[in-house]
Amino acid sequence: MLGKERIRAVFEQVLAISPADQTEVLFLGEDSGLTRFANSHIHQNVAQNNAELRVRVVFGKKIGVASTNDLSVESIKRVVESAITIAKLQRENPDFVSLPAPAPVPQVTGYAPRTASFTPEARAKAAGLVCRKAVENKLIASGAFYTGANELAVANSLGVFAYHPSTVAELNTVIMSDSSAGYADAVSLDAQEIDPEAVAAEAVDKALRSRNPTGLEPGEYEVILEEYAVFDILEFLAYLGFSALAVQEGRSFMKLGQKVVGDNISIWDDGFSPGGLPLPFDFEGVPRQKVPLIDKGVAVGLVYDSYTAGKEGKASTGHALPAPNTYGPMPVNLWMGTGQSDKEEMLKSTKRGIWVTRFHYTRPIHPLKVIVTGMTRDGTFLVENGEIVGPIKNLRFTQSYLEALASVELIGAQTKLERGPMGGSRVPALKVSRFNFSGATEF
């Protein structure tokens, strides 16, 4: 961790030497460790310390970006010169308006000192506990325990300065027998709040219950989707449709004011909520707004960065990704509204359906309809007359996620935190009345 004041000094150095009309400096620091285990022992165990500086310079409407992870004085000079050189070679981008002006960033805590000081020995202890639980049940454990401390800081020549230290810890495991597997994970910004015993118990239970699966004919079934699977749905909606650029380019399903999913579905992005992994500003230093995206089934909002906002004469919602990026802004702290149900009730209400623990290798095959294909994995069960009757071999699905969200019968009252590439989302479990399974595999 470099710390706020040392990062500020680096920023001042960049801004002082840049002759550009506007200059932005982004700092991304990571000090992390990750312990992986497989076959019930630790097989990979790593740590890294990295600090990247990214400089964006603007001459009129010409933009150049250069980056380095060498923070020496010479390197900083070189990265500024590189950004200037390429900006001058650029053509003017008529859609560019300006880097963002400063705005107050509300404070939010996303940093747990206990995660930052979490040791390799402590990670190994947790991994060892999961492995022992598996072995005690004649099962095999695999998984990973990540702990990381990150620093995000942004400054620009218009006066923006924003700094946010954060931590995150995630323990996940797949516990296997010869014929089955069970998955569980836990995410928190405080590594001490991760309970390896609970994670192991959940995965062991699944692995034991899913032994000796039988085949099931593909077709349309009711499904109970655990939070792990629902998170995948939310990620795809964000990736394919919630960005203003996706709408501007006509590749999004979001038609504002129109109903896109069922009345019982509401989704929003909130970078400040303490139950998530808070991130108070974006990679341009703009404070994140809480953005309702889908309200009671209706598309109501999009996320913007300064570029897409400038095109529409609007203000950025604080969802820029690091420059340069051509994919547009992205929500990274998604929340799905809860209902009043639980998985027990979902089970009891299912006449003939499939319980899905999680999805695997999901890919879009029709972006506008959000049709996605993927597999079930690590705990798939047949449900009949309100009870789990047994494990089934994994199935391939090909399903519009929008249509699935248009046929949600029950929504869990509790949400679970899941970690995405840049933030964290909270999702409930769902009971969906129709879900299309298009193929089967051999295990």
Partner 1 sequence: MRELIERVLNTAQVRGASYADVRVVRRQSQSIVVKNGNVEALSIAEDQGFGVRVIANGAWGFAASSLLAASEADRVAALAVQIARASATVKSRDLDIGPGTPVTGRYRTAVEIDPFGVPIETKIALLLGADEAMRKVKEIKVAESSMELFRELKTFASTEGSFIEQEIIESGGGIEATAVGNDDVQKRSYPNSFGRQQGTAGYEFIEAMDLVGNAERMAAEAAQLLWAKQCPASVTTLILGPTQLALQVHESCGHPIELDRVFGTEASYAGTSFLTTEKLGSFRYGSEIVNITADATIPGGLGTFGYDDEGVPAQRVPIVRNGIFVGYLTSRETAGVLGQSSNGAARADGWNRIPLIRMTNINLEPGEWEFEDLIADTDEGIYMELNKSWSIDDKRLNFQFGTEIAQEISHGKLGPLLKNATYTGITPQFWGSCDAICNARHRNIWGTPNCGKGQPPQAAHVGHGTAPARFRHVQVGVMK
Give the footprint of partner 1 on residues 100-159 (CB under 8 A).
Answer: 119-121, 123-125, 127-128, 131, 140, 142-144, 146
The answer to whether the beta carbons of residues 379 and 209 sit under 8 Å apart is: yes
Site string for partner 1, 326-345 (x = CB under 8 A): x-------------------
The residues in 384-413 that bind partner 1, with binding defined as CB under 8 A, are 394, 396, 398
From 66, 58, 65, 67, select the one nearest 95 (Cα to Cα): 58
Site string for partner 1, 287-306 (x = CB under 8 A): --------------------
Quote the crossing angle between the two packed helices 73-89 and 4-17, to the nearest 10°.
Answer: 50
Pick from 5, 89, 138, 344 the residue near partner 1 by CB under 8 A: 89
The answer to whether the beta carbons of residues 185 and 173 sit under 8 Å apart is: yes
Nearby residues of 203 by Cβ (< 8 Å), 6 or more positions away: 130, 141, 173, 174, 175, 182, 183, 184, 378
Pick from 273, 325, 407, 433 the residue near partner 1 by CB under 8 A: 325
Task: Confirm or reject binding of residue 377 to partner 1 (CB under 8 A).
Answer: yes
Nearby residues of 177 by Cβ (< 8 Å), 6 or more positions away: 138, 139, 140, 207, 208, 211
Residue 422, classified by CB atoms within 10 Å of its CB into exposed (0-12), middle (13-18) or buried (19+), is middle
Pick from 104, 250, 257, 313 the residue near partner 1 by CB under 8 A: 250
* Number of residues lying near partner 1 (CB under 8 A): 93
Q: Which is nearer to partner 1, 171 or 410 (CB)?
A: 171
Q: How far is CA 226 from the centre of its chain?
A: 17
Half-sphere exposure at residue 217, Cβ-oriented, CA atoms within 13 angstroms: 3
Q: Which is nearer to partner 1, 32 or 266 (CB)?
A: 32
Site string for partner 1, 202-241 (x = CB under 8 A): ----------------x-x---------------------
Nearby residues of 219 by Cβ (< 8 Å), 6 or more positions away: 436, 437
Q: Which is nearer to partner 1, 147 or 266 (CB)?
A: 147
CB 51 → partner 1: shortest distance, Å? 6
The answer to whether the beta carbons of residues 22 and 158 sit under 8 Å apart is: yes
Task: Confirm or reject binding of residue 40 to partner 1 (CB under 8 A).
Answer: yes
Pick from 17, 34, 103, 298 the residue near partner 1 by CB under 8 A: 34
Q: Which is nearer to partner 1, 114 or 290 (CB)?
A: 114
